[in-house]
Amino acid sequence: MGRVVLLVIGTLLGLFVLFNFLLPMVVGLIKLALIVGVIALVAFIAVTVVSKSRSS
């Protein structure tokens, strides 16, 4: 009986940690990567436009 109670408590604690700590961190990292990617894309487009306008 004690093993079942500890198993249930461990499972609930694992789900608590997953949904309260790990998933928000992963979502934050994805947001950060998306923002950095958009900034890099804008910089790439700006450099491409400036280099094409100077070469012609």
Residue 56 has pLDDT above 70, yes or no: no
pLDDT at residue 34, as a whole number: 97
Which whole number is the average pLDDT over 21-39? 95
Residue with tokens 């947001």: 31
Report residue 30 as tokens. Answer: 């994805």
Residue 2 has pLDDT above 80, yes or no: yes
Q: What is the mean pLDDT of the chain?
A: 93
Report residue 52 as tokens. Answer: 């094409």
Report d(CA 53, CA 30) in Å as an integer.
Answer: 35
pLDDT at residue 55, as a whole number: 72
Confidence of residue 54 (pLDDT cuts 50, 70, 90): confident
